[in-house]
Structure 1
Amino acid sequence: RDAVAGADLPGALVPAGAAVLAFCLVLAVLDAGIRTLTGTSPRVALGRPGLLTRSLGPVAVHGLAGLMMAVLWLSPYGPVAALLVLLPMCVAWWAFAQYHRERAAHQATIRALVQAVDIKDGYTRGHSERVGRATMMIARELGMDDERVETLRFAGILHDVGKLGVPTRLLRKEGALTPEERRVIELHPEYGHEMVRGIRFLGEARAAVLHHHERLDGSGYPYGLVGDRIPESARVVAVADAFDAMTSTRSYRRARPVAAALAELQRCAGRQFDPRMVGALVRALARHGWHPSVTADSHPVPPAATPLPG
């Protein structure tokens, strides 16, 4: 207060900075407490620095602007100069509001696309949201920052959006597909990529939509990429997609128990799936569990003799 009263801005920066840091730390601790109460382990909740780093910048900027107003108000320049500080703050507020409105519009578009896929393929209703959830669990287990976790969640949600370009009769067909029908269905990653490539904020999620059916050994589609040439985001979504497909009832087979699905993922790790992603999912499920809408709790299905179809 004495520093402000003397219009000494440098002298006021240290206590103001300490106040900003204390505020952000309290905010992060409260966020971790809420996450712990909702089921997240305390170690994971406290170990996520995303909220602290995200809030530190905006709070510091607003705190500095408020401090400048107080210093100018008490300076020889008077209240008029202090009020001029409000102008850039209003511009910044308008820019942030525009950003959030645009992001909300994109999210509404994503929800509409997912609902359209769910309506077209009734057997996979809810699959996209569950894959988004499993993708998010893997990404967090790998230590990715919050912004990238959110991007990968979008990748999981949108991975099957290309099925809108596949005839409904093929999606709902009971029994084995003919080679021609399988080739038509295998076009859905390319259809999906065409649909989302114009949504710029999706970033690497677009690559995941295109490549989530690639396999480490090069036997996947659409381009037969091998190993690390497959984008990391696609390798994450591939594991989440296969896991939910196995633990959900489909037209051509019933669901497997979670333990059997994880065993199958581990069996195919290194050939079809990235072992890092499989291990991350196993660790995440051991901590948080999994509660799919439809699952099998008994009478496990024998493991497939060939790698999962994806």
Structure 2
Amino acid sequence: MWRAAQPALAVWAAARVHGTLGGEDAVAGSDFPYALLPAGVAVLAFCLVLTALDGGLRAAVGLMPVRRAWRGLLARTLGPVAVHGLAGLMMAVLWRSPYGPVAALLVLLPMCVSWWVFAQYHRERAAHQATIRALVQAVDIKDGYTRGHSERVGHASVLIARELGMDDERVEVLRFAGILHDVGKLGVPTRLLRKNGPLTPEERRIIELHPEYGHEMVRGISFLGEARAAILHHHERLDGSGYPYGLAGDRIPECARIVAVADAFDAMTSTRCYSRARPVEAALAELERCAGTHFDPRMVGAFVRALARSGWHPAVTADEPDHDTPATGRAAGTGTPR
């Protein structure tokens, strides 16, 4: 109902504006280029209505803060609608011209090209999603704990990115980063991932190579963009005590600082075979306690605000335990997670 009502209201508003400005007479009289003015204003009215409804829905359901719900929507809508609106106007003017309907049908050629480009984009996007699903499924089979964990980290990363006001393209990249942050576990021996009991120093050094393994695996996947840096650096800590390179402060990429918060939060709020999930409030309190040392306070603050608005409903993780931290429930910020 929403998807039908939204364009219907936009079309109604555009038609009223177009008629009020004499657009109908301009088209009927083939008064080109005078027909451009009412058509252009009608396109603007169409986009404004779509923007108002889209932003209103985002704000109403808590997808992002009210002050950012409409940011960038008009600019993204205006370009495509203006192009297609111009094509429609050309068809209408040519139809009423002495050349008749045959000339008007020529406008369909660029429209078909536009449709083909749009279809190619969606096919490419579907291929990207299939690539990510295949990688995540491979990790899930190897390490049972990550089953569901990757998707939740991706979701939490999106919440933080939206709270920080990032554009939709970058939000999507952060989602990829969260989903694939542990893909490097494919390069770690399964016996270490599933080992019962504490790890030896040598085994822990092997585990700590998984960010580098992951970065090598996705290096050639160009559409991931900065997500590759997040995969490599999501275990770095703000005070320089993390791995693999011991980066500190702003030297850690922003995307990695976001995924680090999302990863730690889900680790604390997930039920495992040897420990129950912490309440969301306790996990957030732990993130805030470690902000400034292990985590970026800006990312922690954004996550706290996002959850205050939308809430969090974590799913139970898979059967396989994770031995990142001992069963005594050591804080997420103080252990060395796998």
TM-score, normalised with respect to structure 1: 0.89
| Partner Cα distance (1:304, 1:34) in 2 | 37
The residue identity in structure 2 corresponding to 1:14 is L
| Partner Cα distance (2:193, 2:71) in 1 | 42
Is the 1:155–1:209 contact (alpha carbons within 8 Å) kept by the matching residues of 2? yes
Q: 1:77 to 1:308 in 2, by over 3 A?
A: farther
Deviation by residue 1:148-191 (Cα, 9 ceiling, x = unmatched): 11111111111111111111121122332111111111111111
Q: 2:202 aligns with which of 180, 194, 211?
A: 180
| Partner Cα distance (2:63, 2:28) in 1 | 46
Q: Which residue of 2 aligns with 1:269?
A: 291
Pairing 1:25-44 to 2, within 5 Å after superposition: 25-32=48-55, 34-35=57-58, 39-40=61-62, 44=66
Over aligned residue pairs, what C-alpha RMSD do you find? 2.4
Shift of 1:302: 6.7
| Partner Cα distance (1:44, 1:166) in 2 | 44
Shift of 1:97: 0.9
Q: 1:43 to 1:155 in 2, by over 3 A?
A: closer
Listed as ranges, the gaps of 5+ residues in structure 2 are: 1-23, 318-327
Moved more, 252-261 or 126-135: 252-261
SS of the residue 1:11 aligns to? coil
| Partner Cα distance (2:302, 2:330) in 1 | 21
Shift of 1:207: 1.1
Matched, 1:136 2:158: yes
Pairing 1:55-134 to 2, within 5 Å after superposition: 55-134=77-156
Matched, 1:213 2:213: no
Identity of aligned residues (%): 81
| Partner Cα distance (2:58, 2:222) in 1 | 30
Moved more, 15-24 or 211-220: 15-24
TM-score, normalised with respect to structure 2: 0.82
Q: 1:156 aligns with which of 154, 159, 178?
A: 178
Q: 2:304 aligns with which of 282, 286, 308?
A: 282
Shift of 1:252: 6.1
Shift of 1:65: 0.6
Is the 1:239–1:277 contact (alpha carbons within 8 Å) kept by the matching residues of 2? yes
| Partner Cα distance (1:42, 1:72) in 2 | 44
Matched, 1:53 2:80: no
Shift of 1:46: 7.3
Matched, 1:307 2:334: yes
Shift of 1:291: 0.5
The residue identity in structure 2 corresponding to 1:7 is S
The residue identity in structure 1 corresponding to 2:29 is G
Matched, 1:146 2:179: no
Total equivalences in the alignment: 304
Is the 1:123–1:251 contact (alpha carbons within 8 Å) kept by the matching residues of 2? no
The residue identity in structure 2 corresponding to 1:267 is R
Is the 1:214–1:220 contact (alpha carbons within 8 Å) kept by the matching residues of 2? yes
Q: 1:42 to 1:192 in 2, by over 3 A?
A: closer
Is the 2:161–2:174 contact (alpha carbons within 8 Å) kept by the matching residues of 1? yes
Moved more, 87-96 or 151-160: 87-96
Q: Which residue of 2 aligns with 1:18?
A: 41
SS of the residue 1:4 aligns to? helix
| Partner Cα distance (1:305, 1:146) in 2 | 29
Q: Which residue of 1 aligns with 2:278?
A: 256
Deviation by residue 1:54-112 (Cα, 9 ceiling, x = unmatched): 22221111111110111222234443332222212211211121121011011011112
The residue identity in structure 2 corresponding to 1:57 is G
Runs of 4+, deviation exceeding 6 Å: none
